[in-house]
């Protein structure tokens, strides 16, 4: 029985892509007034909702946060910034630096409507460029994308130059955009990119779910 169970676990791991999953934690949000990771969404902390969407998509899952203590109950590894105080770009750099696999799916902790078919599609394209990023309208969604470790040097260079807008380093690497038409063919409607930044956003989201 024990041998059978471990054999099943090994087979499952082999079926998963050689990929890391990183969730960028929110920290103290000025607009939300608290840490977005632990804001209740349908009765569960938002970080738990996001984890449920992504935890089995790769070989490892971890949370990027400089304040790991509140996340201990999740029994999920955490990593901290190499360059603290540099916003989401610093967190993304930390994720790639600490990842055990060549590619990392990066998502934010405040995206409770992540669509698995789209995430799986991004993952399937990971060998085609350094960045695989959706673009629903005019702008890309950098916190809903797959990054290669080959991006590390460009990220570090931009952090050191204090060019902290994430997409600034895109012109230094190979980028594969997944545009609206491609997303719609997967059944997506843009909801996967919606995030919750304010109490008003949360209230509207809960109301929509009840309708």
Reported pTM: 0.89
Return d(Cα 36, Cα 45) in angstroms, integer.
9
- Domain assignment present for residue 130? The answer is yes
- Domain assignment present for residue 166? The answer is yes
- Domain assignment present for residue 122? The answer is yes
pLDDT, greater one: 166 or 8: 166
- Domain assignment present for residue 12? The answer is no
Return d(Cα 197, Cα 132) in angstroms, integer.
24
HEC per residue, 29-76: CCCCCCEHHHCEECCEEHHHHHHHHHCCCCCEEEEECCCCHHHHHHCC
pLDDT at residue 125 is higher than 90: yes
Paired sense of beta strands 20-24 and 60-64, if any: parallel
- Domains identified in the chain, total number: 1
pLDDT tens per residue across span 106-119? 999 999 999 999 99
- Domain assignment present for residue 4? The answer is no
- Domain assignment present for residue 69? The answer is yes
Domain of 151?
A: 18-210
User: Using 50, 70 and 90 to split pLDDT, how confident is the model at 200?
Assistant: confident
pLDDT tens per residue across span 83-104? 999 999 999 999 999 999 999 9
The CATH number covering residue 203 comes to: 3.90.550.10
Q: Are the C-beta atoms of 153 and 82 separated by less than 8 Å?
A: no
């Amino acid at each position: 029985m024990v041998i059978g169970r471990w054999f099943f676990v090994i087979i499952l791991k082999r079926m998963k892509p050689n990929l890391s999953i990183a969730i960028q934690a929110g920290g103290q949000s000025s607009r939300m007034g608290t840490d977005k990771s632990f804001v209740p969404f349908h009765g569960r902390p938002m970080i738990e909702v996001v984890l449920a969407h992504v935890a089995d998509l790769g070989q490892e899952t971890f949370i990027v946060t400089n304040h790991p203590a509140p996340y201990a109950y999740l029994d999920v590894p955490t990593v901290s910034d190499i360059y603290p105080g540099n916003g989401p770009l610093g967190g993304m750099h930390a994720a790639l630096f600490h990842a055990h696999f060549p590619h990392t799916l990066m998502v934010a902790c405040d995206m409770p409507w992540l669509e698995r078919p789209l995430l799986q599609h991004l993952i399937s394209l990971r060998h085609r460029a350094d960045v695989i990023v959706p673009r629903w309208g005019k702008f890309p969604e950098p916190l809903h994308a797959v990054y290669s470790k080959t991006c590390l040097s460009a990220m570090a260079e931009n952090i050191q130059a204090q060019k902290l807008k994430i997409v600034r380093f895109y012109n230094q690497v190979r980028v594969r955009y997944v545009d609206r038409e491609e997303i719609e063919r997967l059944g997506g409607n843009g909801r996967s990119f919606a995030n919750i930044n304010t109490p008003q956003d949360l209230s509207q989201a809960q109301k929509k779910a009840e309708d």
